[in-house]
Amino acid sequence: LGHALFLFRRHTCVLEISLLLFAVSSFCTPQIIMPKAKIKRGQKFAQMKRMISLRDPRLQDKDRLPPKRPKKEDPHTVKVTEAPQYSSALFFKYNTQLGPPFRILIDTNFVNFAIKNKLDVIQSMMDCLYAKCIPYVTDCVIGELEKLGSKYRVALRIAKDPRFVRLPCVHTGTYADDCLVQRVMQHKCYIVATCDKDLKRRIRKIPGVPIMYIYQRRFSIERMPDAYGAPKM
């Protein structure tokens, strides 16, 4: 019995000492404080100027704009409408200025499509119209071909052929579609050679201007019934 009491007291003393050491160690060790995460603030945008409301009492009647009133039209005045003036060369829709030798304005993509279809430009034009043809190239068309790089170097070489007549441009930039449309509106003696759908749509709105394009590896023309060499659609 005495030996059992001795062992019990020994275990209790060891337990008390271990608890005391744990308490002392927890009290003496410094507490590690984790830094708080930085809260990202939103960017400050420019403050808008506050506008005065229309119902603000500080606004006086003289500061307000008078209401717009519709002008009364005089019933006795005659309305003047300006109608578009068409060229004197047009007989209804037939252009009397078109005749051999035919003057043909060439677009940028027309020369490239002729190369892809292995067609000689001047010879194919004469085969289509059965008459002498003079191809015309503007400065903006040459500028577009130069900007397209080495892929279109053959088309550029053909466009610089001495048989092609060079037309100078006075407008800024190298956009050829507006230049060609402006030229055929001023002078009705040209045929436009292009394969561009948008340019065709714009030229169809201008009366008396034929359009030459490539169809079934041949040059064809629309809005010109006298072109016997053109393939029938």
Structure-token pair, residue 73: 């039209």
Cα-based distances in Å from 112 to 118, 146, 194, 216? 10, 13, 10, 15
Which amino acid is present at 143? Answer: G
1/206 Cα distance (integer angstroms): 128
Domain ranges of the chain: 107-222
Instruction: Tell me the pLDDT of the chain averaged across its residues.
Output: 80
Give the model confidence (pLDDT) of 97-125 as tens digits.
888 899 999 999 999 999 999 999 999 99
pLDDT band, residue 157 (cuts 50/70/90): very high
Give the model confidence (pLDDT) of 36-46 as tens digits.
555 555 555 55
| Mean pLDDT within 57-61 | 80
Cβ atoms of residues 199 and 112 within 8 Å? no
Lowest mean pLDDT among 18-22, 61-65, 157-161, 187-191: 18-22
Nearest to 106 by CA among 151, 147, 154, 142: 142
Cβ atoms of residues 176 and 141 within 8 Å? yes
| Mean pLDDT within 163-178 | 89
222/200 Cα distance (integer angstroms): 10
Residue identified by tokens 């008396």 is 208
**Residue 48 or 58, more confident:** 58
Buried b (16+ CB within 10 A) or exposed e, 125-145: bbebbeeebebbbbbbbbbbb
Identify the bridge partners of residue 98 per DSSP, sorted by sequence position: none
pLDDT band, residue 85 (cuts 50/70/90): confident
Give the model confidence (pLDDT) of 8-33 as tens digits.
566 666 666 666 666 655 555 455 55
- Most distant CA atoms of the chain, gap in Å: 143
**Above 90 in pLDDT, residue 79?**
no
Lowest mean pLDDT among 9-23, 32-46, 173-187, 211-225: 32-46
What pLDDT is attached to residue 24? 55
Structure-token pair, residue 190: 């040209």
CATH class as words, domain 107-222? alpha beta
* DSSP string over 61-100: GGGSPPPP-PPPPPTTSPPP--PPPPPTTEETTEETT--S
Identify the bridge partners of residue 138 per DSSP, sorted by sequence position: 167
What pLDDT is attached to residue 64? 76
The DSSP call for residue 131 is S
Cβ atoms of residues 93 and 191 within 8 Å? no
